[in-house]
Amino acid sequence: MAVTAVVANLVAPTLIGSEAPAYAVTNNPDGTITIEFRDRFYTKDFNRRLEEDLRASGVPTVVDLLPAGKTCKEPRARYRPQEETKNLTTWKSSSDALSFTLHADQIRAGQTLVMTFAGSVDTEGGWDFKVADGPVAACLPVDDPRVVQSSIPESSASGE
């Protein structure tokens, strides 16, 4: 009986000094890809490095990191319907890290994974995942209409 060893490919960006990597990308034997975030403080080129690591894993990717309350102006691509990609990711949280497993089999040739994040990257809620058919335009940050803005005038809030 032959024994087959399956080795996961671990791609981890190197940070300055002896600090642990901010994230790791692991290619799993079942074809999924796990991205584990270990640190919420990322270098300014974090999104570019994550894009490169996911592309090296076979997934064309665009990653946009935005301040809380912002989103990218749409339309910037022709997206697959949400109901077709609702099982694209599975999230897992622990005291040490936040991770998600990407079901890469849902991304076909000519498609791009579009990951947009606004706010603190150590929470699941700030991520938005879409699959685009064809090219994806650059992100133009705009106010996110889904974020409820305070309607209390400043003078009322201060008690005046």
* Calpha distance 63→76 (Å, rounded): 13
Region of residue 42 (left: phi > 0; alpha: psi -120 to 50; beta: else): beta
Q: Provide the pLDDT for residue 128.
A: 85
Per-residue pLDDT reduced to its tens digit, 143-152? 988 776 544 4
Query: Given the structure tokens 């997934």, which residue do they identify?
Result: 59
Contacts of 93 (CB under 8 A, 6+ apart): 99, 124
Full-model pTM: 0.74
Contacts of 152 (CB under 8 A, 6+ apart): none
Locate 39 and state its tokens. Answer: 């640190």
Q: What is the DSSP string of 40-91?
A: S---TTHHHHHHHHHHHTT--EEEEEE-TTEEE-S-SSEEPPGGGSTTSEEE
Under the banding of pLDDT at 50, 70 and 90, the label for residue 126 is confident
Per-residue pLDDT reduced to its tens digit, 53-93? 999 999 999 999 888 888 899 999 999 998 988 889 888 87
Q: Provide the pLDDT for residue 19.
A: 56
Q: What is the DSSP string of 105-144?
A: GGS-TTEEEEEEEES-TTSGGGEEEEEEES--PPP-EEE-
Single-letter amino acid, residue 55:
R
Under the banding of pLDDT at 50, 70 and 90, the label for residue 5 is very low
For the ranges 4-8, 41-45, 55-59, 129-133, which has the lowest average pLDDT? 4-8
